């Protein structure tokens, strides 16, 4: 019997808890009694704990009562994970983790682990919207920005919300083999391995800064004329700078090179057209500035792990 413990705190995301726990629960249908998972919730506060969607949950144990050795110890995400520090939880976690065979987080639960000093030296991930914040907050961790989940030694972390199901399926596969995990995935009507990573859900280019600079003027011009050809020299001319100086200033302000910005902007434009229109791929490629469907397909596969056709089928 393996024990899976989930730590709950005010404003946790209910699906971060329920998704993985459902995976382990369904896995028990396919396992012998002595191989099944025992599911346990641990609350940081006495009584009912209110999730971020308003649903209240009664934990099995209060944190002061939880001193066992767990096979899997998980922390969910939610507003309570990245907006609050939970000092009692942060004091408890290092000792609990030292007794656990594996520990991890779903979504923004990574921030709780980070504040407890439990991410340092590990490869980790979180919801795509928060990866930059995690990178800045915990520089001793290596943040994977495009992974659905990351298994690194005894630490397991996942991207946002439903990625907790992917993480739990990976744990079941590791514990009991791929066949059991596949059976669970079929019951849940999910795939064992998704096509592509988190990049397919997130914009590749951030919003242009609202204050006007030479760089933001170039960015806005490029975004308004993505069907045109651009080079670094051409963009530098729009900013009245030399190509070398422009490239340095652009990289400093935007955190990517001018050509990386152009390529990402074209992919984002194509994604929008694929999601919101029935335009032929040739027209999408032209309007996005790729020049050919072949070039667009190559960059989609490289950056998103999906072809344009697969992307349209999945998101439109």
Give the pLDDT confidence of 34-57 residue by residue, as tens digits: 999 999 999 999 999 999 999 999
DSSP 8-state assignment for residue 41: E
**Mean of pLDDT values over 170-199:** 83
Strands 37-43 and 61-62: parallel
Residues 257 and 298 sit within 8 Å (Cβ to Cβ): no
**Mean of pLDDT values over 168-191:** 91
Q: Please give the C-alpha separations between residue 282 and each of 224, 272, 277, 308, 315, in angstroms, as whole numbers.
A: 20, 15, 13, 11, 19
**Mean of pLDDT values over 259-274:** 90
Instruction: Give the separation between CA 118 and CA 72, rounded to whole angstroms.
Output: 15
Strands 2-8 and 37-43: parallel
**Mean of pLDDT values over 276-284:** 92
Which residue matches tokens 């308003």?
Answer: 54
> 3-class DSSP state for residue 177?
coil
For the chain, how many residues are written? 316
Using pLDDT thresholds of 50, 70 and 90, give the confidence band for residue 196: low
Q: Which of 65, 57, 63 is nearest to 21 (CA)?
A: 57
- The pTM score is 0.74
Instruction: Give the separation between CA 151 and CA 124, rounded to whole angstroms.
Output: 8
Question: pLDDT exceeding 70 applies to what percent of the chain?
Answer: 95
Q: Which residue has the higher pLDDT, 100 or 207?
A: 100
Instruction: Give the separation between CA 258 and CA 224, rounded to whole angstroms.
Output: 15
Whether 237 has a pLDDT exceeding 90, the answer reads yes
Q: Which of 65, 46, 72 is nearest to 57 (CA)?
A: 46
Average pLDDT, the chain: 91
SS3 content of the chain, % helix, strand, coil (to 5): 50, 15, 35
Whether 185 has a pLDDT exceeding 70, the answer reads yes
* Interacting residues of 280 by C-beta distance below 8 A, sequence separation 6+: none
Q: Which domains are assigned to the chain?
A: 2-196 (3.40.50.880), 214-315 (1.10.10.60)
């Amino acid at each position: 019997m393996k024990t899976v413990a989930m730590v709950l705190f005010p404003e946790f995301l209910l699906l971060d808890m329920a998704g993985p726990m459902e995976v382990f629960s369904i896995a028990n249908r396919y396992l012998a009694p002595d191989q099944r998972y025992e599911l346990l919730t641990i609350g940081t506060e006495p009584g009912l704990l209110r999730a971020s969607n308003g649903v209240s949950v009664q934990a099995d144990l209060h944190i002061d009562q939880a001193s066992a050795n767990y096979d899997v110890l998980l922390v969910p995400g939610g507003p309570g994970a990245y907006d609050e520090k939970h000092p009692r939880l942060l004091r408890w976690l290092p000792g609990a983790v030292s007794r656990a065979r594996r520990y991890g987080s779903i979504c923004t639960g990574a921030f709780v682990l980070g504040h407890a000093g439990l991410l340092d030296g590990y490869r980790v991930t979180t919801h795509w919207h928060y990866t930059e914040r995690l990178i800045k907050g915990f520089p001793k961790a290596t943040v994977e920005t495009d992974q659905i989940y990351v298994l690194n030694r005894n630490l397991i972390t996942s991207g946002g919300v439903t990625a907790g199901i992917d993480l739990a399926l990976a744990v079941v596969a590791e514990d009991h083999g791929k066949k059991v995990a596949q059976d669970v995935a079929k019951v849940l009507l999910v795939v064992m391995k998704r096509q592509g990573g988190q990049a397919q859900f997130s914009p590749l280019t951030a919003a242009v800064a609202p204050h006007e600079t030479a760089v933001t003027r170039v960015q806005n011009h490029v975004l308004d004329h993505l069907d045109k050809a651009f080079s670094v020299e051409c963009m530098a001319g729009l900013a009245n700078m030399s190509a070398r100086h422009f490239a340095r200033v652009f990289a400093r302000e935007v955190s990517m090179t001018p050509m990386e910005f152009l390529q990402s902007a074209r992919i984002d434009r194509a994604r929008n057209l694929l999601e919101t229109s029935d335009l032929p791929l040739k027209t999408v490629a032209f309007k996005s500035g790729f020049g050919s469907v072949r070039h667009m397909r190559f960059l989609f596969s490289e950056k998103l792990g999906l072809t344009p056709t697969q992307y349209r089928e999945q998101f439109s």
